[in-house]
Amino acid sequence: MTMTDLRERPRLDGGDQPPAAPRGKRRRRSDHPLWFLAPALVVVFVFFFLPTLSNFFYALTDWSSFKSEISFVGTDNLTALFDNGTLLDALRVTVVYAVLVAVFQNLFGLVLALLLERDNRLNRVCRVLFFIPVIMSALAVGYVFQALLKPDGGLNQALGFLSGTEVQIAWLGNTTWTIVVVALIHAWKWMGLSMLIYLAGLKTINEDVLEAARLDGATWWDTFRRIRFPLLAPAVTFNFATALLGSMNGFDVVQATTEGGPGGTTELLNIFIFRTFGQGLFAQATTMSLVLFVTVTLMAVPVIWYLRKREDVL
Amino acid sequence: MSTVEYVKASRLYPGNPVPAVDELSLEIADGEFLVLVGPSGSGKSTALRMLAGLEEVTSGEIRIDGVDVSDASPKDRDIAMVFQSYALYPHMTVGENMGFALRLAGVGKADIATRVARAAAMLDLTGHLDRKPKALSGGQRQRVAMGRAIVRSPRVFLMDEPLSNLDAKLRVQTRTEIASLQRELGTTTVYVTHDQTEAMTMGDRVAVLKDGVLQQVATPRELYDRPVNVFVAGFIGSPAMNVLPVTLTAEGVQLGDLTVPVGPAARGALGSGEGAQLGVRPEALHLTGDGTGLRLDVAVVEELGADAYLHGSLGAGDGRRPLVVRVDGRTPPRAGSTVHVGLRPDEVHLFRGGDGARVDAAG
């Protein structure tokens, strides 16, 4: 079709015709009518905007499975959740979890990328192996780790074998450290993705610049700290933002390992929403999901703005 | 203030039986500006990178100040390099770029600032010290790369085609600046280029490489007047020297209707005369005007103002050979015309068949 059109387009005779005319024609042809967007917009509207908007609405009602009708209650849900401390607790747990995941995932991803940077057969195989958790089901990952970390699970048995005494550490039953353990599992699952992006970032650094640094007397560590890491800024932005915001919305790994326990110390907003929804308290669950939505948005903007600023010079 | 020596230095890449640099032996005097020149793939950049420590020396030695540095890491050689891409650190300011090596070496902040300021003044960069490379023009970036090398006061400067990314006018200007800067500083410099004009105008001496093998190292004048073989003869000079096949006769060598006399020693060196070639630069040819000499069919006339170059062909049929002649720019013949040219016998070069080595015609 296009081929024919190009071939049949009349040639310009001489130079008297302004070149703008055929170009304008071509632009018109390559532009599609705006109404072609309609199906996509309808899908986005029905399945994304409408639920989000109704989220705002239901958060202001007393919708639950215990009542036959829904009535407007204003900000009662929010006030109640705030007053009994549930909201702030869940919010705090979520933010701590997200920051831990973002730090661990980036750290692991970056270390892996540096270790597997050189293109040889062994490294290529290792890259694939470390990427496998990314494509695994998060629930499956969670259940595997749950089995490993049980008091009589694989890890304690291995530690017991090595130390010669019986080890009974409750990895998933500690009110202080379990959130770190779960964040480590989450980071482990996704570190392959960060690794891939860091590898790509490392590849974009001009080889001459690294050689210049070597001639300037830089050691491996100098080169990494003063040249390579600053030049990885775009990869850091992407990895940190996706890890942080992705784990704010985390659910599956935590659900599979601790279900929010022990004592609610790993109860992310999503776990809370899932639980309260299951209890039939729809309005409360909706209110929390609204809080999550707003929090993610509020965190995303400054984080991405700050990290982008670092990229400006590149 | 340092000397550099390549002693049969070779670089063999794994999986390639042909060395990129083949037993290079070269001595560079203290304060000398030596240019490595050759076509792409001649090994000139590899030779430079071997000196920098960025390429392994597979056999032979490289010495700086008489000390073998073949196995020393780049940072222990006290050399500075200017890259073709400039290789500036994009996230650092001009000042930070120039002071980076000093900072790594633990030089005090005040001392760094003084030395950077001094180098910046030499390179006309004083007003740009707080800017990032992205905000600079190509010429300014090139000067920052120079500045980064100068600030360190290294034993040797290495420059790998530092002018290739500049436009033609700036390249000529910067060429002069680099040469005068080097003379002012007196730092031993090895400069790589594929541009023979750059090589001729900048170098105290020029080393011509081909396929990893050093062909000749000499002053620009010597290279131009006494090239050791056909390759050097054709590579040095622009437009290139005319190289024409000749036959050996009782009187000398025969080119068309012209006979160039050769001495007895030259005759011996030429042997049977098989494959012998005669080289003559465009300026060693002249229009005869009286119908004697070689008949040239002029195809193109390049007018350069003061001079004009006639591009034409000698002979007819299969024996046609291209020939370039320099003539006075004011009265050049027209393209399509036929002229007769003569040559100055004392400005011809003879090369024997086989290896194409030079034979002194008078010898």
Residue A54: band (very low, low, confident or very high) from pLDDT cuts 50, 70, 90: confident
| DSSP label at residue B263 | -
User: To which CATH superfamily is domain A58-313 assigned?
Assistant: MetI-like (1.10.3720.10)
Mean pLDDT confidence for B141-165: 92
User: pLDDT by residue (tens digit) across A15-51?
Assistant: 344 444 444 445 555 678 888 899 999 999 999 889 8
Structure token pair of residue B174: 């910067």
Q: How far is CA B85 from CA A207, A274, B46, B133, B216, in A?
A: 10, 56, 16, 12, 28
Task: Give pLDDT, residue A21.
Answer: 44
CB of A212 within 8 Å of a chain B CB? The answer is: yes
Residue length of chain A:
314
Least Cα distance to B53 among B41, B69, B68 occurs for: B69
| DSSP label at residue B65 | T
Least Cα distance to B34 among B202, B198, B243, B236 occurs for: B202
Establish, for the pair of chains A and B, how many residue pairs have beta carbons separated by less than 8 Å: 67
Bigger pLDDT: B252 or B42? B42
The alpha carbon of A187 is separated from its chain's Cα centroid by a whole number of angstroms, namely 10
Answer yes or no: do A208 and B79 touch at CB < 8 A: no
Give the residue on B whose Cα is nearest the Cα of A216. Answer: B101
Give the residue on B whose Cα is nearest the Cα of A231. Answer: B91
Is the sign of the CA dihedral B80, B82, B83, B86 positive or negative?
positive
User: pLDDT by residue (tens digit) across B201-212?
Assistant: 999 999 999 999
Give the residue on B whose Cα is nearest the Cα of A210. Answer: B87
Share of chain B above pLDDT 70, in %: 99
State ipTM: 0.85
Angle, helices B138-151 vs B168-185, to 10°: value is: 10
CB of A231 within 8 Å of a chain B CB? The answer is: yes
* Among the partner residues B54, B73, B89, nearest to A211 by beta-carbon distance: B54
Least Cα distance to A8 among A33, A20, A25, A24 occurs for: A25
- Pairing of the two strands B247-248 and B252-255: antiparallel
User: pLDDT by residue (tens digit) across B94-147?
Assistant: 999 999 999 999 999 999 999 999 999 989 999 999 999 999 998 999 999 999
CB of A221 within 8 Å of a chain B CB? The answer is: no
Average pLDDT, chain B: 90
CB of B109 within 8 Å of a chain A CB? The answer is: no
Per-residue pLDDT at A14 exceeds 70: no
Structure token pair of residue A215: 């001639």
- Cα–Cα distance for residue pair A207/A224, rounded to 1 Å: 13
User: pLDDT by residue (tens digit) across A96-129?
Assistant: 999 999 999 999 999 999 999 998 999 999 999 9
From B40's Cα to the closest Cα of chain A, the distance in A is 19
Answer yes or no: do B100 and A231 touch at CB < 8 A: no
Task: Give pLDDT, residue A22.
Answer: 47
Answer yes or no: do A215 and B91 touch at CB < 8 A: no
Residues 6+ apart with CB under 8 A from A202: A113, A114, A117, A228, A232
* Among the partner residues A211, A222, A230, nearest to B87 by beta-carbon distance: A211
Which SS3 state, helix, strand or coil, does residue B282 take? helix
Cβ contacts of A211 on chain B, cutoff 8 Å: 52, 54, 74, 81, 83, 87
Answer yes or no: do B75 and A211 touch at CB < 8 A: no
Cβ contacts of A233 on chain B, cutoff 8 Å: 91
CB of A21 within 8 Å of a chain B CB? The answer is: no
From A311's Cα to the closest Cα of chain B, the distance in A is 9
* DSSP letter for each residue of A262-305: STTTT--HHHHHHHHHHTT-HHHHHHHHHHHHHHHHHHHHHHHH
Residues 6+ apart with CB under 8 A from A308: A237
* Among the partner residues A211, A216, A231, nearest to B104 by beta-carbon distance: A216
Min mean pLDDT across A187-201, A298-312, B276-290 is at: A298-312
Cβ contacts of B81 on chain A, cutoff 8 Å: 211-212, 215
| DSSP label at residue A72 | B
| DSSP label at residue B264 | H
The alpha carbon of B301 is separated from its chain's Cα centroid by a whole number of angstroms, namely 27
Least Cα distance to B239 among B300, B151, B148 occurs for: B300
